[in-house]
Structure 1
């Protein structure tokens, strides 16, 4: 049993991250040991290559402002581990988190004795979130998939709504090397006679519709072309004769907001559109083109799909400004390929490091490398004026480190 939260978190994070699996048998059996009754809780399941977090926060905000208690399970965190498990956008308290980790430590030991099998980090964290939301009697659970969908630890429940944001090339080792293969894995969250909402691009519509038909499920495809941008700053869009003012910057956020809006309209059909639209004005989500200080922005783009969307946003938002990139990424994200995408829009690119066990030095990929991230930022600031833009990006873990320890 842990008496110290840091020790407890270190134990959780030291567990096998995602173990290879052909089924969800182990986590299903462990879940049964917990004797949780989640039948009174409405459940929303969200996957997609990017945008899961933004959609989760939009849905959470709208449900909260309708008077519901909402548990949200997201990953990864930006600054503090507690952010992964939230109720009404408040991260779990240190005391509650310590108690919860002690509970899942005991669960892991019990399951190990019964099955001679261990549970992974994400399996344990998923079960912890389910238990916490049960203990707190939430009305809704908004659950983000970790990786993929079909064999993700979160996929052991029947959800009231399944949500797929988009499909891009990420986690190819686990999910497949084509968009179609990745889409099939993500479509694994849709159950027999389920309900699916998605903003997936047109090239995958047939696959989605055919899958839904086979499962006798209802599918709601939101046409991105029906969402018209009026302005980028402030971020205002039109959809179905309604005007939406969105606090989150980035061209990709319009799809995330409207997707969330349609999900909540389905769940709460009697709620006035104007009330939901007003709620969307109050959404906050750190690390997504977030203006953290003066002319410094951070964005957690960490794969090709997200980097492309970020670059499109930079072109539109900062078309008359010089943009300087401070970049770092984890080794498994092909950082050499990702950073090259900024060459046509950046005045300067600096590469740096940050403390993470999965980080490998990026000092030989052809860009100016300053190992100390604080010195790297200071160097860029010495070369820029207040009218320029400094964008810190490449990894959610990196921007979280920069925000917590340097900015």
Structure 2
């Protein structure tokens, strides 16, 4: 089996993979001697911001001289993006080697009558094998879905559990109230391990506080924070920031999105919580945030093109607030696609409130869950009377904005859309 065949096999797993509690993951990891138990791990869950926080932590601890493994999801272009060491994607050769090790055990499990591990369980086990083989000193672990039943929750004693912003997403699985969703995310909180909480929503805070009491986990709330933006370009933000844990008089964040400041505050709080175990100099933090890059989140490709993977109401609110505040002098066109299992109606309603958007282009992506164009158009027309176009050829739309005459194209609604645009820009089609 070669690399391409291994990827094809993994991508086919959702067709026959069935979630079976943690039994599949336990069985797989046991065969490799439970490598996750000997790794120092930072475990991060949340609805929005968890990938950004993980990436910032990875950059910070790399800058501090550690060999850092980072497991994330989803990928935008290549599946290798999910496995990083020192912010470099796994090579095709190492990916194949890890897959063959895990696949061999999976075949034994199937012969013994056990169910096939799911897509995500397989990838998580591959990540643990890869990080163990490469001798990483710290693992940054992003949950896939929820927390309590997530495959990543095989981690028994993380250095710290981090909970980012919580909002309505995957409600059919996680629950239809913030309290229920918070309880699922809070499932990663472990006995006697500290917890960092980004949210200041009362119903979320109450749930997480109660879980921390039960688990004897010391809680470190990120908010309130005090920050001041001193300069903003279309690529970066200069700001000062402080809360009761730290003070930085000047940081430059390699992102133009103000909401990333809260994610930076969460990463900085986490670093401070772990300061007695892993020392990090302020100068290392400064350099790390200057290098930080997390694609597809208010990602300014050039002055005429922004990619944002916002795919729930709170993400869309942050996106529209940002473009209205900072790009209202531009003629903004929105390229939109969404998944039909998301709360697309309220996302579209929020988009239509943004007066800075002057034109809508609707499209689809190569994903069976994508919302059908007629339903997408019907929903937009319910909330706004802006010019609406249908265009299945994303490359054609992107081509129009390669050189800008002051117009701005924003691609939003789904990380799948962001991934397809990234693929086009990288010549992947």
TM-score normalized with structure 1 length: 0.93
Q: Is the 8 A contact 2:35 2:129 kept in 1?
A: no
Q: Is the 8 A contact 2:147 2:184 kept in 1?
A: yes
> Structure 2: which 5+ runs fail to align?
379-387
Q: Is the 8 A contact 2:335 2:411 kept in 1?
A: yes
- 1:137-216 correspondence to structure 2 within 5 Å: 137-158=135-156, 159-203=158-202, 204-216=204-216
**Greater shift after overlay, 283-292 or 358-367?**
358-367
> Structure 1: which 5+ runs fail to align?
none
Aligned to 1:102: 100
- 1:315 is displaced (CA, Å) by 1.9
C-alpha distance in 1, partners of 2:227/2:124? 34
**Root mean square deviation of aligned Cα:** 2.1
> 1:399 pairs with 418, 425, 428, which one?
418
Residues 1:363 and 2:374 aligned together: yes
Aligned to 1:252: 259
Distance 1:129 1:332, change over 3 A: same
> 2:44 pairs with 38, 46, 55, which one?
46
Q: Is the 8 A contact 2:19 2:118 kept in 1?
A: no
Q: When the two structures are aligned, how many residues end up with a matched partner?
A: 402
Secondary structure at the aligned position of 1:331 is classed as coil
Aligned to 1:344: 353
Q: Is the 8 A contact 2:80 2:90 kept in 1?
A: yes
Task: Write the deviation string for residues 267-306 of structure 1: whole angstroms up to 9, x where unpaired.
Answer: 2344332332332111111111112134111111111121
Secondary structure at the aligned position of 1:239 is classed as strand
Residues 1:329 and 2:327 aligned together: no
C-alpha distance in 1, partners of 2:317/2:275? 34
> 2:291 pairs with 279, 282, 294, which one?
282
Q: Is the 8 A contact 1:59 1:260 kept in 2?
A: yes
Q: Is the 8 A contact 1:288 1:299 kept in 2?
A: yes
Aligned to 1:26: 24
Secondary structure at the aligned position of 1:306 is classed as helix
Q: Is the 8 A contact 1:85 1:92 kept in 2?
A: yes
> 1:124 pairs with 119, 122, 125, which one?
122
Task: Write the deviation string for residues 253-273 of structure 1: whole angstroms up to 9, x where unpaired.
Answer: 011111111212332344332
Aligned to 2:5: 7
Secondary structure at the aligned position of 2:196 is classed as strand
C-alpha distance in 1, partners of 2:260/2:105? 39
Secondary structure at the aligned position of 2:293 is classed as coil
- 1:344 is displaced (CA, Å) by 2.9
Q: Is the 8 A contact 2:237 2:256 kept in 1?
A: yes
C-alpha distance in 2, partners of 1:99/1:27? 19
Task: Write the deviation string for residues 63-83 of structure 1: whole angstroms up to 9, x where unpaired.
Answer: 001111001001011121110
- 1:150 is displaced (CA, Å) by 0.2
Q: Is the 8 A contact 1:237 1:244 kept in 2?
A: yes
